Amino acid sequence: MTTRTPGKTPANLLVEIGTEELPPKALSQLGRTFADGCRQGLVAANLLHDTTTPQRWFASPRRLAVWIPAVRSKQPDQRIERRGPSIAAAFDDDGHPTKAALGFARSCGVEVDQLHRAEDGKGKWLVHRSVQRGRTASKLVPQCVEQAIKQLPIPKRMRWGDGSAEFVRPVHWLVIMHGRSVINANLLSVDSGAYTRGHRFHCLHRLRLSSADQYEKTLVDSGFVIPDFNNRRRIIQQKVQTLAKRVDGTPMIDDALLDEVTGLVEWPIPILGEFDKIFLKVPQEVLVSSMRDHQKYFPIKSHRGRLMPYFITVSNIKSKTPKRVREGNERVLRARLSDARFFWETDRNTPLASRVNALKDVLFHNKLGSLFDKINRVRALSASIATLLGLNADHCERAALLAKTDLVTDMVGEFPELQGTMGKYYAGHDGEPKSVATAIEEHYRPRFAGDLLPSGGVGQVVATADKLDSLVGIFAAGEEPTGDRDPFGLRRAALGILRILIEKQLDLDLLSLVEESACIYRAQPQSIAVSDKVVERVFEFVLERTRALYGAAGFQLDELNAVITTRPVSPLDFDRRLRAVAKFRKLPQAENLAAANKRIRNILRKSSEVIPRQVDQTALTETAEKQLFQALERLTKEVSGYFRDGEYDRGLKKLVSLKDPVDHFFDEVLVMTEDPSLRQNRLALLRQIHELFLQTADISKLQVDAG
């Protein structure tokens, strides 16, 4: 038993690590993780007086910091009571200590007569009571900070100078202040102190902090630094929106760009720039990519959604000559847009169809050939899928043929993030059918979780074929994903296939498509061997991705297991079964039927006999088994049409009427009777029940609660 006495008056704690410029894209995550790690360490050390008030985290290009309220100056003392042997076992009949008592006292570092006696409802015991003095914050806080630093999500730590310290960037200063006092420490080869630093250019001298609470105010008032990441982010967003209104426009602000820009500046000064209207003849995506992805500018669009010849950059310096800053940014952007315009004009001189042979020189995989080999496989698979869906196979083949050709254009060479997008524009310029041009762009979708799916049938076909080809080929090459390692993005590809087939209502046999892809590989000259085992592994791999897809949508693991067990070959069919099972489990009879199916499954599994497929009605002797057989025959006729048409919810709803006959059967009939003919006939009856439910799912896997 342990009790604690209060520590001294708590004070607020500030920890700041001052660095060279930190990676802007990772800055917010680093800031939050560092703050959480420090707080967790203090909680574990029992130094937090108030565990309800949240900490504040700060992150700017040159610092990570956290302010944590009400940190004790020392741990509370702990009163420790350690229980030993019972009094009866501790002393003999003469009252002398036994070996048990002597050993317990020795382990506590005292004599037997220094032990206490305690009594509870179970008896009397020897106990040792002591007080463990709390350690001071000055000793514990540096350990907490050091542990938080070690837990930061830094993929590759770096060293600097001759030291052995490792961090994401070189560290130049360290602040650890508890109230008005500095906690002395040496972390990352830097001694702690009370001095922080402001803006690299606007504040050249160190800033002394009088207390932990003066941190933010000192930096804002004297250091030209807004250290609070979220506050700085809001300021940037508001100022950018206000500035765009000057030209009657709306800035194109996405969260990723806003976070990155926030991670690049400490004293944000938005500046409105302009570019020549002649560049608006270039596709909008190219201009946006140039501004947003390459220059970290915010493009501006009109109220009609068209790109305007303006942009907003966020400077980290409050310049005395903002015009020069604006002109410098305009000059840099003009050069990049000029290159883009040149690529746009020259690329269109060569039709995409004329670039197909150039893909022979682009390696897809050293065991799977070039991109030229890949598009020929995708063409063949696309044609098969299109035929199954009743779509224009010629358009699907054409889109597959041209899908990768923009990779060898100058524009995509300079702007790789525009692959597919430029193919759409070039195909349109070449006079290709609109469905083909659209499919070239959309066949990469979905690129990430939650991304849009291909909107047209041709794009859906080519996207599915392209992803299937990659899955089959990479698996055959022996490079399937392991653990967290998935360099070819095969999990993403599998999820993409599932989403396309399910959300676009494409009722396709996935196993047959995988087999078709394998056959296409085998037909290519000098192709890698694709075994039946690879086909099975690919199918199982895609089927297993349903756990992540539907788990994120709120379906239960046992519902998924119930359907996966039946191995539906159509993802759309899988979806229908799963939704039916989710509805079924809410019915009052679901619990009993799930339990009965589990019992049936176990009986059938344990039986070593060859169970007949048909029930001999003349061999049914008990009233309960006759009633169950009659109910089963009637329901089988009723639900067979529902199951055939994929109306699993209606079929399962009908099957709930089996509850009473099944319960009555198990109450009245001995299945494993000694008479072999009776036993086999009853096993056949149970087998038919189990197989009837298996037409939807194995509901014996449901963990259904009563009520």
Q: What is the mean pLDDT of each run of 10 residues along the chain (707 residues)?
A: 51 97 96 96 91 92 97 85 87 87 89 86 84 87 96 91 91 97 96 97 95 97 98 98 97 96 98 97 96 97 96 96 96 96 97 97 94 97 97 98 98 96 97 98 94 96 98 95 90 97 97 97 85 96 95 94 94 96 90 87 84 86 90 90 92 90 89 87 89 90 66
Tell me the CATH number at 400.
Answer: 1.10.3210
Q: Which of 44, 127, 148 is nearest to 81 (CA)?
A: 127
Q: How far apart are the C-alpha atoms of 582 and 649, rounded to whole Å?
A: 9
Q: How many domains does the chain have?
A: 5
Q: How far apart are the C-alpha atoms of 99 and 179, rounded to whole Å?
A: 52
Listing DSSP states for 178-245 in one string gives ETTEEPP-EETTEEEESEEE--TTT--SEEE-SSGGGHHHHHHHHSS----HHHHHHHHHHHHHHHHG
Q: How far apart are the C-alpha atoms of 65 and 48, rounded to whole Å?
A: 18
At 15, list the tokens.
């920890």
Is residue 560, in this structure, part of any structural domain at all? Answer: no
Q: How far apart are the C-alpha atoms of 184 and 197, rounded to whole Å?
A: 18
What per-residue confidence (pLDDT) applies to 707? 38
Helices (H) and strands (E) in the chain, counts: 25, 19
CA-based angle 458:461:465, to the nearest 5?
Answer: 140
On whether both 209 and 242 belong to a single domain, the answer is no
Say how many residues make up the chain. Answer: 707
On whether both 118 and 150 belong to a single domain, the answer is no
Residue for token pair 């509850």: 659
Q: How far apart are the C-alpha atoms of 514 and 539, rounded to whole Å?
A: 7
- Helix or strand run (H / E) with residue 285: helix 284-288
On whether both 83 and 173 belong to a single domain, the answer is no
On whether both 92 and 218 belong to a single domain, the answer is no
Is residue 569, in this structure, part of any structural domain at all? Answer: no
On whether both 361 and 498 belong to a single domain, the answer is yes
Tell me the CATH number at 614.
Answer: 1.10.730.10
On whether both 453 and 490 belong to a single domain, the answer is yes
On whether both 197 and 324 belong to a single domain, the answer is no
On whether both 44 and 150 belong to a single domain, the answer is yes
Please, are residues 458 and 466 in contact by the beta-carbon 8 Å criterion? no
pTM: predicted TM-score of the whole model, two decimal places? 0.82
What per-residue confidence (pLDDT) applies to 4? 40
Is residue 579, in this structure, part of any structural domain at all? Answer: no
Please, are residues 283 and 411 in contact by the beta-carbon 8 Å criterion? no
Please, are residues 371 and 490 in contact by the beta-carbon 8 Å criterion? no
On whether both 297 and 396 belong to a single domain, the answer is no
**Running DSSP on this structure, what letter comes out for residue 268?**
-
Q: Which of 206, 222, 238 is the last residue of a domain?
A: 222
Is residue 615, in this structure, part of any structural domain at all? Answer: yes
Is residue 544, in this structure, part of any structural domain at all? Answer: yes
Query: Coil, helix or strand for 59?
Result: strand
What per-residue confidence (pLDDT) applies to 703? 84
Q: Which of 222, 249, 267 is the last residue of a domain?
A: 222
On whether both 451 and 522 belong to a single domain, the answer is yes
Please, are residues 463 and 444 in contact by the beta-carbon 8 Å criterion? yes
On whether both 455 and 503 belong to a single domain, the answer is yes
Is residue 577, in this structure, part of any structural domain at all? Answer: no
On whether both 372 and 434 belong to a single domain, the answer is yes
What per-residue confidence (pLDDT) applies to 108? 87
Q: Which of 206, 705, 202 is nearest to 193 (CA)?
A: 206
Domain that holds residue 679: 585-701
Q: Which of 338, 370, 390 is the last residue of a domain?
A: 338
The residues near 30 (Cβ < 8 Å, ≥ 6 apart) are: 22, 23, 59, 64, 152, 153, 154, 168
* Neighbour-count burial of 332, counting CB atoms closer than 10 A to its CB (0-12 exposed, 13-18 middle, 19+ buried): middle
Is residue 580, in this structure, part of any structural domain at all? Answer: no
Please, are residues 159 and 165 in contact by the beta-carbon 8 Å criterion? yes
Is residue 561, in this structure, part of any structural domain at all? Answer: no
